[in-house]
Structure 1
């Protein structure tokens, strides 16, 4: 019965003039789940922006703290990019927006970089990918929607592993490329857009590993179709007073990232329609 009402809501949105219904996976480590401040997160109550909740197998109106504490993944520690992303995308495109959050603080992209916080690689002590796909599949079943894309904020854990001499930038590039291909395979879309928020910096710590991760992310955006770099660079955030600590971004930064991603999606769609 609950699924019936969810589908009825989404169907009603399309009747009311919303251009499309889109669903987005936001994944990675702690800056993906969000370490901001809900008091300065986007504040709205929109019946066109939703957060998928796996524990109740349902949708709720999207507001911070987005996400949920469940198997492997956690909700935002107060504020995230999601409300800004969804609200701006809805206002620019008319889309109704469903966000699926699957992020774990400290998680690695590679097996080599894994610590106790898990990895997105195919093998590891705490593999996260299958859990993310289970959540995505449940969201698909509830909404009837395909995923419109993946938004990825991750790289700090692997950068630290590079600084420790356990791996290098080419290892990270191979791990992230493999992950993108697995997302596309399991979400049944060989052209699924993948938006990478460039990894920032760990203030007053060795920067070489972070430079190598960022270079790998840039290379993949040049080599792989449908892989995009988000035009808001966290490397500059410390100088702009947009950090909450040495590695996590402020809510103002999260709001900026969310709006920037929405604008890039809108501009890409505008170009495709010409």
Structure 2
């Protein structure tokens, strides 16, 4: 016969185990950092996985919304899920995670949410690439928010920051006189505001300045870079974390006319990890 005392012991034991597990999860979360990497093709990554870096087991992960799971981070990073794309075939993610982990000791969780050719302003949008604008034909913004929230629910880790690589599509639209620099600036400011409204009013927003398109007019690209810097100067907790993408052609860090090769992507990842770790720690 099962006595009341035995039942109380079993229940008490179960509560103790549950509390221990919750405590362990809390301690683990304190040693993890979650970042969103978003934007267009250079945020997706068009490098070479064979030149990417290696993250030791247990130090870096990426979140998949399709499987609702954390996967070991390695290139090609990112997933073909929602309206986002997998790296083709190398990205900044492993270099960023490796450097950040080496500096801080924190495990890094990446949420990849990038789509090649996507614009910031709806006027610059081209089919089938979409836009981060509320008027965009694809729900890129809402998809990114959903993926981040699901990752936070899964890991119990808050978002530490948004890393943004985007602007080439809008620069081309400025060159084509379909968009003004002020319209791009307003769209970028609005994007930051929308992310903060959905995720956290104080979330840091880290930008990599847009590079150049080889053999094309630099005017639109300089306009985008200037407006990105202006937003960083004017909006609290928005930072420029890498500036030298305009020098990639002379450094031999372009894969083609506009995409960064793996050497360039590794340099960006390591540099922004150093800058962000200083700001957060």
8 A Cα contact 1:73 1:104, kept in partner: yes
Tell me whether 1:113 sits opposite 2:124 in the alignment. Answer: yes
- The answer to whether residue 40 in structure 2 is matched with residue 29 in structure 1 is yes
Superposition TM-score, scaled by structure 1 size: 0.91
Query: Number of paired residues?
Result: 260
**More divergent stretch after superposition (234-243 vs 41-50):** 41-50
Q: How does 1:123-162 map to 2 (within 5 A)?
A: 123-162=135-174
1:3 aligns to what? none
Picking from 186, 192, 195, the partner of 1:180 is: 192
| Deviation of the 1:135 alpha carbon | 1.1
Distance 1:11 1:139 in 2: 18
Aligned with 2:49: secondary structure? coil
Q: Partner of 1:216 in structure 2? A: 227
CA separation of 1:87/1:19 partners in 2, compared to 1, >3 Å: closer, same or farther?
Answer: farther
Q: Equivalents in 2 of 1:69, 1:19: separation in Å? A: 29
Counterpart in the other structure of 1:231: 242
Q: Which of 270, 273, 277 is matched with 1:259 structurally?
A: 270
Q: Check the 8 A contact 2:54/2:98 in 1, yes or no.
A: no
Partner of 1:170: 182
Per-residue CA deviations over 1:42-99 (Å, capped at 9, x if unaligned) read 1233302101011111001111111111221111011000001011111101111100
Cα-Cα RMSD:
1.8
User: Which one has a bigger Cα radius of gyration?
Assistant: 2
Q: Runs in 1 of length 4+ with deviation above 2 angstroms?
A: 10-15
Structure with a larger share of its residues in helix:
2
Question: Would the alpha carbon gap of residues 44 and 269 (structure 1) be closer, same or farther in structure 2, given more than 3 Å must change?
Answer: closer
Shift of 1:237: 0.4
Partner of 2:134: 122
TM-score, scaled to structure 2? 0.88
- C-alpha distance in 2, partners of 1:107/1:251? 21
- Residue segments in structure 2 that go unaligned for 5+ positions in a row: 1-20
Q: Which residue of 2 aligns with 1:102?
A: 113
Whether the aligned pair in 1 keeps the contact of 2:241 and 2:276 (CA below 8 Å) is no
Q: Find out whether 1:201 has 2:225 as its counterpart.
A: no
- The 1:19–1:212 alpha-carbon spacing in structure 2 relative to 1, beyond 3 Å, is same
